[in-house]
Amino acid sequence: MAGQKRSALTRFEKEGGAWWETAISDVAPGRIILRGHRVEDLIGNTSYAGIVALVIADLSLTPRQAQLLEAALVAGVDHGVRAPSIAAARMAATCGIPLNSAVATGMNMLGDDHGGAGEQCMELLHQVVEHSDVNAGARQAVARSLKNGTNLPGFGHQLHKTIDPRRKPLLSLIEDAEARGEIGGRYKSAALALESALSEAKGRSLTMNIDGATAVIYCELGFPALAAKGLFCLSRGVGIVAHALEEMQAGVLIKGPCPPGVDLVRYVGRAAPRNTSGADAASDTQQ
Amino acid sequence: MAGQKRSALTRFEKEGGAWWETAISDVAPGRIILRGHRVEDLIGNTSYAGIVALVIADLSLTPRQAQLLEAALVAGVDHGVRAPSIAAARMAATCGIPLNSAVATGMNMLGDDHGGAGEQCMELLHQVVEHSDVNAGARQAVARSLKNGTNLPGFGHQLHKTIDPRRKPLLSLIEDAEARGEIGGRYKSAALALESALSEAKGRSLTMNIDGATAVIYCELGFPALAAKGLFCLSRGVGIVAHALEEMQAGVLIKGPCPPGVDLVRYVGRAAPRNTSGADAASDTQQ
Amino acid sequence: MAGQKRSALTRFEKEGGAWWETAISDVAPGRIILRGHRVEDLIGNTSYAGIVALVIADLSLTPRQAQLLEAALVAGVDHGVRAPSIAAARMAATCGIPLNSAVATGMNMLGDDHGGAGEQCMELLHQVVEHSDVNAGARQAVARSLKNGTNLPGFGHQLHKTIDPRRKPLLSLIEDAEARGEIGGRYKSAALALESALSEAKGRSLTMNIDGATAVIYCELGFPALAAKGLFCLSRGVGIVAHALEEMQAGVLIKGPCPPGVDLVRYVGRAAPRNTSGADAASDTQQ
Amino acid sequence: MAGQKRSALTRFEKEGGAWWETAISDVAPGRIILRGHRVEDLIGNTSYAGIVALVIADLSLTPRQAQLLEAALVAGVDHGVRAPSIAAARMAATCGIPLNSAVATGMNMLGDDHGGAGEQCMELLHQVVEHSDVNAGARQAVARSLKNGTNLPGFGHQLHKTIDPRRKPLLSLIEDAEARGEIGGRYKSAALALESALSEAKGRSLTMNIDGATAVIYCELGFPALAAKGLFCLSRGVGIVAHALEEMQAGVLIKGPCPPGVDLVRYVGRAAPRNTSGADAASDTQQ
């Protein structure tokens, strides 16, 4: 990775690039241009999903396409306080940092394993659609993942074992959009082929989860896989803000993951020397 | 502040509260409830702005109210690479951290001075509307701020000295919503009264900026002031994601704020001892 | 606060300041100067505590003073997995982000309420030592805090109710240093006076905690109160790194604050609509 | 990566592990045990470097070994305001977030490309020392890196082209420690063999930089490669705290990477529509 990147100096000194070069925005006194549009022309005429597509990936969506993107963003806003991103943001709020820093704390959690399945699923869908026979491509991908002992990103869910409740409404919107010609449907077909191949190989139903269904939408609309974590930040960000704010308003102080009385913590290190100074009791606690 | 918060233990041990208690979401196998709504009923039926209002502040907006909120979120998405939040996220992207961590880096910047004017302006608007005579309340607030030597949060702009280009389209949408009875208009009146009082006191036109105009919208829709930084995170977050992604795709390595050749850095510390080991040259640079 | 800060532009355009101006370091090809010292003269000759004092606060400590600072940094390195800073860093490590980002997640937690007592205690000690009669000053400070219903920062501990085990060894080192003339002892006297006044007012022994004892050391050595959170970052940072690394090496995936089976989570929001889609069961869980 | 990690639930429900399990610390009322030592026995008797080794990697260093580690930590504390980690922390400080959050902002930058060379170099040194002939192993590693077009992590420096000023004093301390039998010297030999092989292959002198020299020390003392980024956080953290604090004390507001007048920013996106609303001027700026 490191070897493939050029030095910032190389681009600046030898290739004539500016130090800060962007195709996203042009800001000057009285002027804010975003991807070639004046901000005053966007306000009121573009939805949030529309501006997300325009600014992040230079995509000009139709209103219906924007609604499809919006549904994907809405679907992932929250998954309860046991999600580490939500819990960390709530704990941060009890430590006395500003709301934006509590949000940053939660965002930082959305890494490869917590928020990365979307990106991996998008890459997988790209592989499958490149195959001349989508079903064969799907079976190969499933076989490869079983051989490596890895999960197929975007399929199955640790909690929602029967089915992820977000799959059906998202898939239904995807099919509507395809029927109207708003999207091509290739990535949807690839995802359904992966569902079949995976369920067959496992001998039980294993269906798309939130990461799989949203990956289909992002692929159909033209987002690059690398954007997936960013889109998830804006989606789950809603829940992160909400939970951090709720905790700030509750007004409690320095809350760790669990209270002292609860038996979830165990010290498995070296035996401590016999305490001669009269320690009080035994339960762990925060501070 | 610290003294006003209760210990988390007090609430848990003495008041019968759960350690993690939330009115936002209820998640179980096959079930995701948000503010009393099943997620499958929200997907496709609620806009991003609608879910923001519902999840963050338990507000059920009409579609037109949601559009007004959406316009506020759209208006603040980006303000160019010289904004520290944007620049920091871009620099992070060149350091080889994941996109979500680059976004967290940018979010962390949206503190009291970079992203806090919205919250302060909402508090100011609440003060003014509580006054029986809004114009008198506005004049008092302006006088207080002049006396303290502080800026009036939400008014004037360092760059857009004549006028913030986002003011007019936002104000126009606010007035439309008021005309349709979607909002009450009290906070809008307060903001206009503050514009007048400030311009009169300063002897030149000083108008609402992006923070002021969005504060009016957030107040009119019923958000608490404390939510403002969170809303700004979701708004500016779009630009933060876009800029970090653009920098990741550019593929340059470890980019600091400015290149070595540019004369923006000055050492003003103690004189260094005479260097006997043959240092090469003089310009500062990044590591 | 905002009103007291100048615009960066004012300093740059009107006062002749450089955009980036520092008295800390001067870096050029073959040259790294820190506070007027060549880095090659510091390596091997200056302890970590010594460089902390030099770089952060431009203090040149004697070796014994540096040892006192070192003891303060050592005392706070860890306080178990229930501390939110430690827990958040561990959760981050299970989400697949790099170690430095997991550390950043933990650092972000050390805000006013979790890591801020040191700074507040330093400010308090400065107030007390300015009083002509330290005991009277201490009694006034205690009375003020009782009247406001706030805790006295740096005194008492939620967990270590009898006594913080770090108080005695730190106080002993402080007294040794005073006996050798390495420090003046004024802040130590102020802290002891506060202990007496507080215990008397409360009718039970309430002694210095880690924040109080380290605040004495930082004050005696000449650090500004504003540096306290930074010093705590470097101290608790050791534990944050250790716990994040242990969790990375354990290799588990996406760990929230508590497992599904444990009854710590409660939904207190609006009743959910009757679920017609056959949700599986009842326990909350992480995503 | 994801596939190799177990679910946290698997360890908890099936393997009898605690949800929070640690060999680092045991905390209870009146008791703080770190790696089997009472904190009161460590305070005053263990240096910062000693506690870093103990807590992070369960290593009990001799005092001289601890001094060697300390020299490595001291060597990397700062590299000027053009380093993105330092610049981001300074910018954060001007945005009005607390010091610890500004520090977190800087820490987040120390990713694979800015702070990752140490870890990569440690892995490289482990590969080379496993070779029966260290010189042959070094030549193979260099050939592999040239073939892949990647830099050899830990060797050469973009700025310090002749030699990194931190190499000589660190190498000298390493050789002293080897002569005294404090370390074995295998990793040092591997690093010197890499220097020779690289310089020969490139036809010019390319020597160890800070990451290479500290990687030798961390390997000789027994740290795992995975700890490298954490150690760098504690080292560079000193400079990050210092610079953020200096910026807070300077009291300027919202400072981006460069001021409006400086020509470092270029918009390369689509042509903006002709502006009919009378924008003032042309230069970009922050907000």
3-state secondary structure of B208: strand
Give the phi and the psi of residue B217 in degrees, each rounded to 5: -60, -45
Which pLDDT does position D174 carry in this prediction?
A: 98
User: Which among C114, C162, C253 is the nearest to A113, CB-wise?
Assistant: C253
Question: In 3D, which of D49, D46, D81, D24 has the Cα closest to residue D214?
Answer: D49
Whether the CB-CB separation of B26 and C267 falls below 8 Å is answered with yes
Query: Mind listing the pLDDT tens digit for each residue in A42-72?
Result: 999 999 999 999 999 999 999 999 999 999 9
Length of chain D counted residue by residue: 287
- Chain B (212-231) residues lying within 8 Å, Cβ to Cβ, of chain D: none
Between the CA of residue D268 and those of A25, C116, C287, D271, D272, what are the distances in Å?
Answer: 9, 45, 40, 8, 11
Q: Which of C101, C107, C263 to substitute to test the interface with B, most B CBs within 10 Å?
A: C101
pLDDT at A3 over 90: no
Whether the CB-CB separation of A153 and A210 falls below 8 Å is answered with no
D219-222 long-range contacts, CB within 8 A, separation 24+:
D219/D122, D219/D125, D219/D126, D219/D187, D220/D68, D220/D174, D220/D177, D220/D183, D220/D184, D220/D185, D220/D186, D220/D187, D220/D188, D221/D53, D221/D59, D221/D61, D221/D65, D221/D68, D221/D69, D221/D183, D222/D57, D222/D59
Measure the CA angle with vertex C73, ends C72 and C76; round to 5°: 90
Q: Which of B40, B101, B211 to substitute to test the interface with C, most C CBs within 10 Å?
A: B101
Confidence of residue A287 (pLDDT cuts 50, 70, 90): very low
- CA-based nearest distance B63→chain D, Å: 30
Residues lower than pLDDT 70 in chain D: 1-4, 274-287
CB contacts, 8 Å: C91 with chain D: none
Question: In 3D, which of D241, D249, D238 has the Cα closest to residue D101?
Answer: D241
User: Which among B108, B160, B256 is the nearest to D92, CB-wise?
Assistant: B108
Contact C104 D100 (CB under 8 A): no
Between the CA of residue C186 and those of C119, C131, C175, C189, what are the distances in Å?
Answer: 17, 11, 11, 5
3-state secondary structure of A25: strand
Report yes or no: D115 at the B interface, CB cutoff 8 Å.
yes
A153 is written with which tokens?
A: 């990103």
3-state secondary structure of C124: helix
How far apart, in whole angstroms, are the C-alpha atoms of residue C109 and residue C107? 5
E strand or H helix at D25, and its extent? strand D25-28
β-strand D31-34 against D265-267: which pairing, if any? unpaired
Contact A264 D30 (CB under 8 A): no
Question: In 3D, which of C254, D98, C87, C252 has the Cα closest to residue A88?
Answer: C87
Going residue by residue through chain C, which has 287 residues, state the pLDDT in tens, using 9 for 90 and above. Answer: 334 688 888 888 888 889 999 999 999 999 999 999 999 999 999 999 999 999 999 999 999 999 999 999 999 999 999 999 999 999 999 999 999 999 999 999 999 988 899 999 999 999 999 999 999 999 999 999 999 988 899 999 989 988 999 999 999 999 999 999 999 999 999 999 999 999 999 999 999 999 999 999 999 999 999 999 999 999 999 999 999 999 999 988 889 999 987 889 999 999 877 655 444 333 333 34
DSSP E strands in B19-107: the ranges are: 20-22, 25-28, 31-34, 37-38
Q: Residue C211: closest CA among chain A residues belongs to which residue?
A: A287
Measure the CA angle with vertex C268, ends C265 and C269; round to 5°: 130
Length of chain A counted residue by residue: 287
Three-state SS across C2-16?
HHHCEEHHHHHHHCC
Report yes or no: A32 at the D interface, CB cutoff 8 Å.
no
Which pLDDT does position B4 carry in this prediction?
A: 62
Q: Residue C111: closest CA among chain B residues belongs to which residue?
A: B2
Length of chain C counted residue by residue: 287
CB contacts, 8 Å: B81 with chain D: 256-257, 265, 284
β-strand B20-22 against C265-267: which pairing, if any? parallel
Starting at the edge strand found earlier in the chain, the sheet holding D37-38 runs D25-28, D31-34, D37-38
How far apart, in whole angstroms, are the C-alpha atoms of residue C283 and residue C111? 32
Chains contacting C with at least 3 CB pairs below 8 Å? A, B, D
Residue A266: strand pairing partners: D21
Which pLDDT does position A28 carry in this prediction?
A: 93
Residues lower than pLDDT 70 in chain B: 1-4, 274-287
Whether the CB-CB separation of C219 and C188 falls below 8 Å is answered with no
Question: In 3D, which of C247, A90, A157, C159 has the Cα closest to residue D18?
Answer: C247
How far apart, in whole angstroms, are the C-alpha atoms of residue C151 and residue C128? 16
Q: Which amino acid is at C122?
A: M
Give how far the C-alpha of residue D233 lies from the chain's centroid of Cα atoms, to the nearest Å. 6
Report yes or no: D253 at the A interface, CB cutoff 8 Å.
no
CB contact set of D200 (below 8 Å; sequence gap of 6+):
none
Whether the CB-CB separation of B16 and B187 falls below 8 Å is answered with no
Q: Residue D159: closest CA among chain A residues belongs to which residue?
A: A9
- CA-based nearest distance C50→chain D, Å: 9
Contact A27 B159 (CB under 8 A): yes
- CA-based nearest distance D277→chain C, Å: 26
Mean pLDDT of A162-188: 97
Which pLDDT does position C10 carry in this prediction?
A: 83
Question: In 3D, which of C54, C53, C90, C89 has the Cα closest to residue C73?
Answer: C53
Report yes or no: C83 at the A interface, CB cutoff 8 Å.
yes
- CA-based nearest distance D80→chain B, Å: 7
User: Which among D6, D24, D105 is the nearest to C243, CB-wise?
Assistant: D24
Query: Mind listing the pLDDT tens digit for each residue in D168-183?
Result: 999 999 999 999 999 9
pLDDT at A119 over 50: yes
